Amino acid sequence: MNQTMDVPAKRNTKQKDAVRHALSETTGFVSAQDLHLVLRNHGSTVGLATVYRALADLAASGEADSIQATSVAGTGETLFRACGQSHHHHLICTECGKTVEIAAATVEKWAEAIAAENGFTESSHTIEIYGRCASCTA
Amino acid sequence: MNQTMDVPAKRNTKQKDAVRHALSETTGFVSAQDLHLVLRNHGSTVGLATVYRALADLAASGEADSIQATSVAGTGETLFRACGQSHHHHLICTECGKTVEIAAATVEKWAEAIAAENGFTESSHTIEIYGRCASCTA
DNA sequence: GCATTATTGAGAATGATTGTCAATACCGAC
DNA sequence: GTCGGTATTGACAATCATTCTCAATAATGC
Ligand SMILES: [Zn+2]
Ligand SMILES: [Zn+2]
Ligand SMILES: [Zn+2]
Ligand SMILES: [Zn+2]
């Protein structure tokens, strides 16, 4: 093996757990800033940078999914959500943020096929569906 | 009609044409900053803010498509590309940026159906496929 | 308990994008 | 073609999300 062991051992901290917990409480996607506010409002003294670091870790380990808030009139912030481990996509309400996880083998195959047809390898994809949920259609 | 005319009449300017032209020259997606550099290197004295404004206009009028550069190790900048008018998606090489426009009625229907099944209306979607093109697979 | 060192938090720094505003250049009217 | 009202421009300041810095703190193994 040529793996120069230099990856710092991870530690469990109250802050990281607090972020994980706060994230699991929310139903839809949230920004790091919003989550930080929620935590502070609950008495936590966690720092903003720490929330960013914790979310980055969760996203890296697959415990959380992240998307870019592009919609309309946004500076494009990153939103996070605690999700199932298996590969899936999202149906998101642009009004209340309600999120439904979507898993469809057919589109996975489609995306894979499109890439292959054009000679692309190591393909990946980004697929999100937006709309206004029943509750918000009033 | 109740349309209080207050939309400022658009004007044609050299700068806007320069941006439009520079954008059409590039084959893949480019950032506003990169496009600004290209223009300056070609002798133009166009300002960065103007390039941003022109690109925003082009994107709004449907003359250009935009995506968020998330991929790997990017601060998430917005990329633009002169595209066909009709609705489509993209297959993008993460290495050289080569872009292929994709149009597939089946996924359009699929996305529409998923939204409807869950009681969502006014649905839209974001679908991009990434990979490494033949030339870059060496 | 103790030493080692990953982690934290406050604030500075960064990078992309947008706002400000006086100077400029379109464009339709004369 | 000239003129005038106003949309547009460009240099720079301002904003916003995110990352970096670094001394202080706390988790882990012994
Ligand atoms: Zn998810
Ligand atoms: Zn997928
Ligand atoms: Zn396109
Ligand atoms: Zn589509």
| DSSP per position, B95-132 | TT--EEEE--HHHHHHHHHHHHHTT-EEEEEEEEEEEE
- What would the mean pLDDT of A51-58 be, rounded to a whole number? 97
Buried/exposed A74-97: b ≥16 CB within 10 Å, e otherwise? eeeebbbbbbeeeeebbbbbbeeb
Q: In the predicted model, what is the mean pLDDT of residues A44-52?
A: 97
* Distance between first and last Cα of chain B: 60
Kindly report which listed range (A11-15, B12-16, B38-42, B91-95) carries the lowest average pLDDT score: B91-95
Å between CA of A52 and C1' of D19: 9
- CB-CB: which of B104, B121, B129 is closest to A115? B129
pLDDT confidence of residue B7 = 79
Question: Is the pLDDT score of B138 beyond 80?
Answer: no
Residue in this structure with the two tokens 């109250």, named with its chain if needed: A14
Q: Which of B31, B126, B132, B133 has the most A C-beta neighbours within 10 Å, making it the best mutation to test the interface with A?
A: B126
Say whether B122 and A131 touch across the interface (CB within 8 A): yes
Please provide the CATH number assigned to the domain covering A11-85.
1.10.10.10
Q: Torsion angle, CA of B7/B9/B13/B19, rounded to 10 degrees?
A: 30
Per-residue confidence (pLDDT) for residue B5, from 0 to 100:
54
pLDDT given for residue A5 in this prediction: 57
Quote the ligand 3 centre to B56 CA distance (angstroms). Answer: 15
C-alpha distance from B116 to closest chain A C-alpha (Å):
9
Query: What residues contact B110, with CB distance under 8 A and at least 6 apart?
Result: A104, A106, A107
Residue B85 CB neighbours (<10 A) = 8
Q: In what order do the strands lie in the sheet with A99-102?
A: A99-102, A89-93, A121-132, B121-132, B89-93, B99-102
Token pair recorded at residue A120: 């692309």
Q: Is the CB of A70 under 7 A from strand D?
A: no
Given the DSSP bridges, would you call strands A77-82 and A99-102 parallel, antiparallel or unpaired?
unpaired
* Tokens describing residue B115: 């939204």
Mutate to test the interface with A, among B99, B118, B132, B133 (most CBs of A within 10 A): B118
Q: Taking CA atoms, what residue in B is nearest to A119? A: B134
Contact B23, B58 (CB under 8 A): yes
Question: Tens digit of pLDDT for each residue in B106-120?
Answer: 999 999 999 999 999
**pTM (two decimals):** 0.89
Q: Which nucleotide is nearest to B17 (CA to C1')?
A: D8
B76: pLDDT strictly greater than 80: no
Query: Highest-confidence range of A36-40, A68-72, B4-8, by mean pLDDT?
Result: A36-40
Q: Could you confirm whether domain A86-138 is CATH 3.30.565.10?
A: no
Name the closest nucleotide to B9, judged by C1' and CA. D7
Strand-pair category, A89-93 with A121-132: parallel
- Residues A55-82 pLDDT 10s: 999 999 999 999 998 743 346 799 999 9
The domain spans of chain A are 11-85, 86-138
Q: Is 50 exceeded by the pLDDT of residue B71? A: no
Task: Residue B27: count other Cβ atoms within 10 Å of its Cβ.
Answer: 12
Beta bridge partners of A91: A100, A129
* Burial state string for A125-137 with b = 16 or more CB within 10 A and e = fewer than 16: bbbbbbbbbeebe
Q: Please check whether residue A91 touches B, CB under 8 A.
A: yes
Q: What value does the mean pLDDT take over residues B22-44?
A: 96
Taking the CA of residue A7 and the nearest CA in chain B, the distance in Å comes to 19
Q: Is the CB of A56 under 7 A from strand D?
A: yes
Interface touch B129/A130, C-beta < 8 Å: no
Number of C-beta neighbours around residue B14 at 10 A: 9
Segment A93-137, tens digit of pLDDT: 998 889 999 999 999 999 999 999 999 999 999 999 999 999 998
Query: Ligand 4 centre from B108 Cα, in Å?
Result: 5
From the Cβ of A75, is strand D under 7 Å away? yes
Mean pLDDT of chain B: 91
User: In the structure, what pLDDT confidence band is assigned to residue A8 with cuts at 50, 70 and 90?
Assistant: confident
User: What are the distances in angstroms from CA B120 to CA A92, B47, B124, B132?
Assistant: 9, 42, 10, 35
Q: Which amino acid is at B86?
A: S
Report the candidate in B56, B21, B61, B58 with the shortest Cα–Cα distance to residue B38.
Answer: B21
| C-alpha torsion angle, residues A82, A20, A34, A69 (rounded to 10) | -30
pLDDT for A73 equals: 34
| More confident site: B32 or B71 | B32
Residue that has been written with the tokens 């992240």 in this structure? A66
pLDDT at B4: 55
B69 has a pLDDT exceeding 70: yes
